Protein backbone atom coordinates (compact mmCIF):
# COMPACT_ATOMS: atom_id res chain seq x y z
CA UNK A 1 0.00 0.00 0.00
CA UNK A 2 1.32 3.44 -0.95
CA UNK A 3 0.62 6.66 0.92
CA UNK A 4 2.09 10.12 0.69
CA UNK A 5 3.41 10.99 4.14
CA UNK A 6 4.42 14.57 3.37
CA UNK A 7 4.92 17.12 0.63
CA UNK A 8 7.66 19.67 1.19
CA UNK A 9 7.73 22.99 -0.65
CA UNK A 10 10.92 24.93 -1.28
CA UNK A 11 11.53 28.61 -2.00
CA UNK A 12 11.72 27.79 -5.68
CA UNK A 13 9.01 26.19 -7.79
CA UNK A 14 10.26 22.76 -6.62
CA UNK A 15 8.63 20.45 -4.13
CA UNK A 16 9.55 17.09 -2.63
CA UNK A 17 6.97 14.31 -2.32
CA UNK A 18 7.70 11.61 0.26
CA UNK A 19 5.85 8.33 -0.30
CA UNK A 20 5.77 5.31 2.01
CA UNK A 21 5.19 2.01 0.18
CA UNK A 22 5.43 -1.72 0.70
CA UNK A 23 7.80 -2.31 -2.24
CA UNK A 24 9.95 -0.55 -4.83
CA UNK A 25 7.69 -1.00 -7.84
CA UNK A 26 6.18 2.48 -8.01
CA UNK A 27 9.13 4.82 -7.73
CA UNK A 28 9.18 5.52 -11.47
CA UNK A 29 5.43 5.61 -11.97
CA UNK A 30 5.40 9.39 -12.38
CA UNK A 31 8.44 9.50 -14.67
CA UNK A 32 6.37 9.51 -17.83
CA UNK A 33 8.56 9.26 -20.90
CA UNK A 34 11.69 10.43 -19.08
CA UNK A 35 14.68 8.11 -19.13
CA UNK A 36 16.30 7.01 -15.86
CA UNK A 37 19.96 6.74 -14.90
CA UNK A 38 20.40 4.49 -11.87
CA UNK A 39 22.99 5.11 -9.13
CA UNK A 40 22.87 2.13 -6.79
CA UNK A 41 24.48 0.51 -3.77
CA UNK A 42 26.35 -2.67 -4.70
CA UNK A 43 24.95 -4.69 -1.81
CA UNK A 44 21.39 -3.55 -2.50
CA UNK A 45 21.76 -4.64 -6.11
CA UNK A 46 23.13 -8.03 -5.07
CA UNK A 47 19.98 -8.61 -3.01
CA UNK A 48 17.24 -6.60 -4.73
CA UNK A 49 18.31 -5.99 -8.34
CA UNK A 50 15.17 -7.62 -9.78
CA UNK A 51 12.88 -5.39 -7.73
CA UNK A 52 14.90 -2.26 -8.55
CA UNK A 53 15.11 -2.96 -12.28
CA UNK A 54 11.43 -3.96 -12.44
CA UNK A 55 10.59 -0.58 -10.91
CA UNK A 56 12.65 1.25 -13.54
CA UNK A 57 11.33 -0.84 -16.43
CA UNK A 58 12.32 0.04 -19.99
CA UNK A 59 13.29 3.61 -19.01
CA UNK A 60 16.78 2.51 -17.92
CA UNK A 61 19.46 4.60 -19.60
CA UNK A 62 22.52 3.48 -17.65
CA UNK A 63 23.73 2.24 -14.28
CA UNK A 64 26.48 3.22 -11.86
CA UNK A 65 26.97 0.76 -8.98
CA UNK A 66 29.20 1.69 -6.03
CA UNK A 67 30.20 0.32 -2.65
CA UNK A 68 28.74 2.18 0.32
CA UNK A 69 32.03 3.31 1.86
CA UNK A 70 32.89 6.74 3.23
CA UNK A 71 36.36 6.18 1.76
CA UNK A 72 34.74 6.12 -1.71
CA UNK A 73 32.52 9.16 -1.15
CA UNK A 74 35.10 11.32 -2.88
CA UNK A 75 35.59 13.66 -5.85
CA UNK A 76 37.18 10.74 -7.72
CA UNK A 77 33.97 8.71 -7.46
CA UNK A 78 31.94 11.76 -8.46
CA UNK A 79 34.17 12.22 -11.51
CA UNK A 80 33.65 8.57 -12.47
CA UNK A 81 29.89 9.03 -12.17
CA UNK A 82 29.95 12.19 -14.29
CA UNK A 83 31.85 10.21 -16.94
CA UNK A 84 29.12 7.55 -16.94
CA UNK A 85 26.39 10.20 -17.19
CA UNK A 86 28.24 11.62 -20.20
CA UNK A 87 28.68 8.18 -21.77
CA UNK A 88 24.97 7.41 -21.32
CA UNK A 89 23.93 10.74 -22.84
CA UNK A 90 21.89 11.90 -19.83
CA UNK A 91 20.02 15.09 -20.71
CA UNK A 92 18.22 17.80 -18.70
CA UNK A 93 14.95 15.96 -19.27
CA UNK A 94 16.17 12.70 -17.74
CA UNK A 95 16.11 11.47 -14.14
CA UNK A 96 18.84 10.33 -11.77
CA UNK A 97 17.52 7.63 -9.44
CA UNK A 98 19.70 6.94 -6.37
CA UNK A 99 19.00 3.68 -4.52
CA UNK A 100 20.96 3.02 -1.34
CA UNK A 101 21.97 4.47 2.01
CA UNK A 102 23.23 7.94 2.85
CA UNK A 103 26.56 7.58 1.06
CA UNK A 104 25.01 6.57 -2.25
CA UNK A 105 22.25 9.18 -1.92
CA UNK A 106 24.86 11.89 -1.23
CA UNK A 107 26.93 11.03 -4.30
CA UNK A 108 23.94 10.44 -6.59
CA UNK A 109 22.26 13.68 -5.54
CA UNK A 110 25.51 15.66 -5.91
CA UNK A 111 25.84 14.34 -9.45
CA UNK A 112 22.19 15.17 -10.24
CA UNK A 113 22.61 18.71 -8.89
CA UNK A 114 25.64 19.43 -11.06
CA UNK A 115 24.93 17.48 -14.25
CA UNK A 116 23.57 19.86 -16.91
CA UNK A 117 23.21 22.29 -13.93
CA UNK A 118 20.52 20.07 -12.45
CA UNK A 119 18.38 17.14 -13.54
CA UNK A 120 15.37 15.58 -11.85
CA UNK A 121 16.20 13.46 -8.81
CA UNK A 122 14.44 10.49 -7.22
CA UNK A 123 15.75 8.92 -4.00
CA UNK A 124 14.97 5.41 -2.73
CA UNK A 125 16.67 5.15 0.67
CA UNK A 126 17.47 1.57 1.71
CA UNK A 127 18.95 2.07 5.20
CA UNK A 128 17.16 3.16 8.36
CA UNK A 129 19.46 6.18 8.68
CA UNK A 130 18.63 7.31 5.15
CA UNK A 131 14.90 6.74 5.65
CA UNK A 132 14.64 8.72 8.89
CA UNK A 133 17.03 11.54 7.99
CA UNK A 134 19.40 11.62 5.00
CA UNK A 135 16.76 11.35 2.27
CA UNK A 136 15.13 14.69 3.10
CA UNK A 137 16.56 18.17 3.19
CA UNK A 138 18.49 18.61 -0.03
CA UNK A 139 22.05 18.32 1.25
CA UNK A 140 24.53 16.56 -1.05
CA UNK A 141 28.23 16.05 -0.37
CA UNK A 142 31.51 14.26 -0.90
CA UNK A 143 34.47 13.94 1.46
CA UNK A 144 37.76 15.69 0.72
CA UNK A 145 41.09 14.78 2.28
CA UNK A 146 39.48 12.30 4.64
CA UNK A 147 37.19 14.99 6.11
CA UNK A 148 33.43 14.44 5.84
CA UNK A 149 31.20 16.49 3.57
CA UNK A 150 33.67 19.23 2.64
CA UNK A 151 32.17 19.81 -0.82
CA UNK A 152 28.48 19.75 -1.61
CA UNK A 153 25.32 21.46 -2.77
CA UNK A 154 21.73 22.02 -1.66
CA UNK A 155 19.52 20.11 -4.10
CA UNK A 156 16.24 18.56 -2.88
CA UNK A 157 14.81 15.47 -4.55
CA UNK A 158 11.58 15.55 -6.52
CA UNK A 159 10.46 12.26 -5.01
CA UNK A 160 11.56 10.17 -2.00
CA UNK A 161 10.32 6.57 -2.03
CA UNK A 162 10.46 4.83 1.36
CA UNK A 163 10.01 1.07 1.69
CA UNK A 164 10.41 -0.15 5.28
CA UNK A 165 10.27 -3.78 4.13
CA UNK A 166 13.62 -3.50 2.37
CA UNK A 167 15.28 -2.94 5.74
CA UNK A 168 14.78 -6.60 6.65
CA UNK A 169 17.97 -7.44 4.72
CA UNK A 170 20.01 -4.69 6.38
CA UNK A 171 22.91 -5.89 8.58
CA UNK A 172 22.17 -5.36 12.27
CA UNK A 173 25.01 -2.88 12.79
CA UNK A 174 23.73 -0.75 9.90
CA UNK A 175 20.19 -0.94 11.24
CA UNK A 176 21.28 0.36 14.63
CA UNK A 177 23.26 3.10 12.88
CA UNK A 178 19.96 4.77 11.98
CA UNK A 179 18.82 4.79 15.60
CA UNK A 180 21.27 7.58 16.42
CA UNK A 181 19.40 9.96 14.09
CA UNK A 182 16.09 8.89 15.64
CA UNK A 183 17.37 9.77 19.11
CA UNK A 184 18.70 13.08 17.78
CA UNK A 185 15.29 13.98 16.40
CA UNK A 186 13.53 12.88 19.60
CA UNK A 187 15.76 15.18 21.67
CA UNK A 188 15.35 18.12 19.29
CA UNK A 189 11.59 17.81 19.01
CA UNK A 190 10.72 16.83 22.57
CA UNK A 191 7.94 14.77 20.95
CA UNK A 192 6.38 12.15 23.24
CA UNK A 193 5.92 9.84 20.24
CA UNK A 194 9.57 10.08 19.23
CA UNK A 195 10.75 9.64 22.82
CA UNK A 196 8.72 6.43 22.95
CA UNK A 197 10.17 5.26 19.60
CA UNK A 198 13.72 6.09 20.78
CA UNK A 199 13.17 4.10 23.97
CA UNK A 200 14.24 0.82 22.41
CA UNK A 201 14.67 -1.13 19.17
CA UNK A 202 12.28 -4.09 18.67
CA UNK A 203 13.62 -7.48 17.65
CA UNK A 204 13.70 -8.25 13.90
CA UNK A 205 10.30 -9.05 12.43
CA UNK A 206 6.99 -7.39 11.69
CA UNK A 207 7.06 -5.26 14.85
CA UNK A 208 10.43 -3.79 13.85
CA UNK A 209 9.20 -3.03 10.34
CA UNK A 210 6.22 -1.11 11.73
CA UNK A 211 8.50 0.63 14.23
CA UNK A 212 10.76 1.72 11.35
CA UNK A 213 7.79 3.03 9.38
CA UNK A 214 6.58 5.06 12.37
CA UNK A 215 10.09 6.37 13.02
CA UNK A 216 10.55 7.54 9.42
CA UNK A 217 7.18 9.28 9.33
CA UNK A 218 7.70 11.08 12.66
CA UNK A 219 11.34 12.03 12.06
CA UNK A 220 10.76 13.34 8.54
CA UNK A 221 7.70 15.34 9.60
CA UNK A 222 9.78 17.14 12.23
CA UNK A 223 12.73 17.68 9.90
CA UNK A 224 10.47 18.97 7.12
CA UNK A 225 9.21 21.77 9.36
CA UNK A 226 12.77 22.95 9.97
CA UNK A 227 14.23 22.63 6.46
CA UNK A 228 11.19 24.15 4.76
CA UNK A 229 11.67 27.32 6.85
CA UNK A 230 15.49 27.29 6.56
CA UNK A 231 16.54 25.28 3.48
CA UNK A 232 20.16 26.50 3.38
CA UNK A 233 21.00 26.42 7.09
CA UNK A 234 20.98 30.14 7.74
CA UNK A 235 19.28 29.88 11.15
CA UNK A 236 17.28 27.12 12.88
CA UNK A 237 18.45 24.31 10.60
CA UNK A 238 21.74 24.38 12.48
CA UNK A 239 19.88 22.53 15.28
CA UNK A 240 19.93 19.39 13.12
CA UNK A 241 23.68 19.25 13.75
CA UNK A 242 23.13 17.93 17.29
CA UNK A 243 25.80 15.27 17.85
CA UNK A 244 27.38 15.90 14.46
CA UNK A 245 30.19 18.34 15.32
CA UNK A 246 31.98 15.75 17.41
CA UNK A 247 30.45 12.85 15.47
CA UNK A 248 31.99 13.88 12.16
CA UNK A 249 35.36 14.44 13.84
CA UNK A 250 35.21 10.97 15.41
CA UNK A 251 34.41 9.39 12.04
CA UNK A 252 37.35 11.09 10.38
CA UNK A 253 39.78 10.53 13.26
CA UNK A 254 39.02 6.79 13.29
CA UNK A 255 39.44 6.51 9.52
CA UNK A 256 35.69 5.81 9.38
CA UNK A 257 36.08 2.85 11.71
CA UNK A 258 33.06 4.26 13.52
CA UNK A 259 30.08 4.49 11.21
CA UNK A 260 27.97 7.64 11.08
CA UNK A 261 25.23 6.56 13.47
CA UNK A 262 27.69 5.28 16.05
CA UNK A 263 29.76 8.47 15.90
CA UNK A 264 26.70 10.72 16.11
CA UNK A 265 25.41 8.73 19.10
CA UNK A 266 28.69 9.30 20.94
CA UNK A 267 28.53 12.94 19.84
CA UNK A 268 25.05 13.30 21.36
CA UNK A 269 26.17 11.71 24.63
CA UNK A 270 29.28 13.90 24.80
CA UNK A 271 27.22 17.01 23.98
CA UNK A 272 24.83 16.21 26.85
CA UNK A 273 27.85 15.97 29.20
CA UNK A 274 29.11 19.32 27.90
CA UNK A 275 25.65 20.84 28.47
CA UNK A 276 25.58 19.40 32.01
CA UNK A 277 28.86 21.15 32.76
CA UNK A 278 27.20 24.38 31.62
CA UNK A 279 24.19 23.93 33.89
CA UNK A 280 21.89 21.35 32.26
CA UNK A 281 20.09 18.95 34.65
CA UNK A 282 22.40 16.06 35.52
CA UNK A 283 19.61 13.52 35.00
CA UNK A 284 19.29 14.26 31.30
CA UNK A 285 22.65 12.65 30.47
CA UNK A 286 21.41 9.51 32.24
CA UNK A 287 18.25 9.52 30.09
CA UNK A 288 20.38 9.80 26.93
CA UNK A 289 22.58 6.97 28.16
CA UNK A 290 19.52 4.78 28.81
CA UNK A 291 18.16 5.40 25.29
CA UNK A 292 21.51 4.60 23.67
CA UNK A 293 21.71 1.32 25.57
CA UNK A 294 18.12 0.44 24.60
CA UNK A 295 18.93 1.10 20.94
CA UNK A 296 22.12 -0.97 21.05
CA UNK A 297 24.35 2.01 20.32
CA UNK A 298 27.84 2.61 21.77
CA UNK A 299 28.26 4.60 24.98
CA UNK A 300 32.06 4.29 25.17
CA UNK A 301 34.80 5.20 22.72
CA UNK A 302 36.26 2.06 21.11
CA UNK A 303 39.81 3.21 21.77
CA UNK A 304 41.83 6.29 22.56
CA UNK A 305 41.20 8.84 19.81
CA UNK A 306 43.93 11.25 18.73
CA UNK A 307 43.92 14.14 16.29
CA UNK A 308 40.34 15.24 16.98
CA UNK A 309 41.21 18.94 17.15
CA UNK A 310 42.38 18.95 13.52
CA UNK A 311 39.01 17.64 12.35
CA UNK A 312 37.01 19.90 14.69
CA UNK A 313 38.74 22.91 13.12
CA UNK A 314 37.47 21.70 9.73
CA UNK A 315 33.85 21.78 10.90
CA UNK A 316 31.64 23.99 8.72
CA UNK A 317 30.44 25.89 11.81
CA UNK A 318 33.99 26.77 12.93
CA UNK A 319 34.93 30.47 12.94
CA UNK A 320 38.03 32.29 14.21
CA UNK A 321 36.16 33.24 17.37
CA UNK A 322 34.97 29.69 17.98
CA UNK A 323 32.51 26.99 16.92
CA UNK A 324 28.76 26.88 17.43
CA UNK A 325 27.82 23.61 19.15
CA UNK A 326 24.28 22.33 19.58
CA UNK A 327 24.05 21.42 23.25
CA UNK A 328 21.02 19.53 24.64
CA UNK A 329 19.76 20.85 27.98
CA UNK A 330 16.70 18.56 27.94
CA UNK A 331 14.02 17.09 25.70
CA UNK A 332 13.02 19.82 23.24
CA UNK A 333 15.64 22.21 24.66
CA UNK A 334 18.70 22.29 22.41
CA UNK A 335 20.73 25.49 22.32
CA UNK A 336 23.22 26.78 19.74
CA UNK A 337 26.22 27.65 21.91
CA UNK A 338 29.30 29.48 20.67
CA UNK A 339 32.38 28.02 22.34
CA UNK A 340 35.76 29.70 22.15
CA UNK A 341 38.65 27.40 21.23
CA UNK A 342 39.77 27.25 24.88
CA UNK A 343 36.27 26.53 26.21
CA UNK A 344 35.69 23.94 23.50
CA UNK A 345 38.96 22.19 24.25
CA UNK A 346 38.20 21.99 27.97
CA UNK A 347 34.58 20.81 27.55
CA UNK A 348 35.37 18.26 24.83
CA UNK A 349 38.29 16.83 26.79
CA UNK A 350 36.11 16.44 29.88
CA UNK A 351 33.30 14.79 27.93
CA UNK A 352 35.65 12.38 26.17
CA UNK A 353 37.22 11.42 29.47
CA UNK A 354 33.76 10.41 30.77
CA UNK A 355 33.00 8.20 27.77
CA UNK A 356 36.45 6.64 27.40
* pLDDT of res. 72: 97
Residue 318 has pLDDT above 90, yes or no: no
Residue (of 226, 250, 254, 220) closest to 238 by Cα position: 226
Tens-place pLDDT, residues 138-176? 999 999 998 899 999 999 999 999 999 999 999 999 999
Residue 130 has pLDDT above 90, yes or no: yes
* pLDDT of res. 306: 80
Q: How confident is the model at residue 281 (pLDDT cuts 50, 70, 90)?
A: very high
Rounded to the nearest 5 degrees, what angle is found at the Cα of 332, between the Cα atoms of 127 and 9?
Answer: 60
* pLDDT of res. 230: 93
| pTM for the whole structure | 0.95
Handedness of CA 82, 87, 91, 94 (dihedral sign): negative
Give 319's contacts (C-beta < 8 A, 6+ positions apart).
none
Q: How confident is the model at residue 298 (pLDDT cuts 50, 70, 90)?
A: very high
What domains are defined for the chain?
3-170 (3.40.50.1970), 228-355 (1.20.1090.10)
What DSSP element (H or E) covers 346?
helix 341-355
Q: How confident is the model at residue 32 (pLDDT cuts 50, 70, 90)?
A: confident
Pairing of strands 60-66, 36-41: parallel
Residue 28 has pLDDT above 90, yes or no: no
Q: How confident is the model at residue 280 (pLDDT cuts 50, 70, 90)?
A: very high
Q: How confident is the model at residue 303 (pLDDT cuts 50, 70, 90)?
A: confident
Instruction: Assess contact for 21 and 2: CB atoms under 8 A.
Output: yes
Q: Which of 22-26, 35-39, 71-75, 111-115 is predicted least confidently?
A: 22-26
Pairing of strands 15-21, 36-41: unpaired
DSSP conformational letter for 315: S
Burial class (CB in 10 A: 0-12, 13-18, 19+), 280: buried
- Rounded Cα distance between 139 and 121, Å, is 13
* pLDDT of res. 305: 82
When the pLDDT of each residue in the chain is averaged and rounded to a whole number, the result is: 94
Q: How confident is the model at residue 302 (pLDDT cuts 50, 70, 90)?
A: confident
Q: How confident is the model at residue 24 (pLDDT cuts 50, 70, 90)?
A: confident
Bridge partners (DSSP) listed for residue 7: 17
Amino acid sequence: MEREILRLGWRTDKETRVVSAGDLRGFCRDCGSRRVFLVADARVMSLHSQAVLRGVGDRLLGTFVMEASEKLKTPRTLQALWSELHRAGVSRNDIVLAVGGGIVLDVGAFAASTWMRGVRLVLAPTTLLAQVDACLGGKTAVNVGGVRNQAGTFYPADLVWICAEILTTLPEREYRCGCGEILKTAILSGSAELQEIAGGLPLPGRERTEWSRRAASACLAFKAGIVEADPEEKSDRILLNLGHTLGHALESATGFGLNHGEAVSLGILASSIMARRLGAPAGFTEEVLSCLCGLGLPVRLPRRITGLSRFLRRDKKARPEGTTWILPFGWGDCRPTLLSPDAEGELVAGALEEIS
